[in-house]
Copies of this chain bind each other. A is one copy, B any other.
Amino acid sequence: MPVAIELTRIITKDLDAEQVIYLKEVGGTRGFPMLIGEFEAKTIERRVKGFVPPRPMTHDLIVSIVEHLGGELQDVVITELKDQTYYARLRIRHNGELIAVDCRPSDAIAVSLCCNPRLPLYIEEDVLNDVMRYQQ
């Protein structure tokens, strides 16, 4: 059963290739940090701050392509943690089917923030349990 999560914090440092975001269970206390790339972190930070770029950026293009092809972005699910790397799926409703596209969580979260309203974020319960165990 996936657990709803939300983005609670972003820490970006100019000279680091890896940046940190924090995700937390909605209405709960379990939370965890995730290292992500510089570009995705910048995109996420700008969107959280309400900055709308003058031109559609890469993650906006993803939203636009899905719409042009008749799909409807539904949500983001973090599905796996393996060798300290998170894996996610961007789920799209298309012709009555639910299509899950494998991607990096950072891309999926950036896409979620380019949608209005934002896409819900989830993490699989067993992945969250694993994450919490590693943190102890």
Q: Which residues of A contact B (CB under 8 A)?
A: 39-40, 55-59, 61-62, 64-66, 68-71, 85, 90, 92, 94, 99, 101-104, 107, 110
Contact = CB atoms under 8 A, between A and B. Distances in A.
Contacts of A62: 58, 61-62, 65
Given A39-B39, A61-B62, A107-B61, A102 B69 contact: no
Which secondary structure dominates chain A's binding surface?
Answer: mixed
Contacts of A58: 39-40, 58-59, 62, 107, 110
State the oligomeric state as a number of copies.
2
A99 B70 CA distance: 11
Contact of A99 (B56, B69, B103): B69
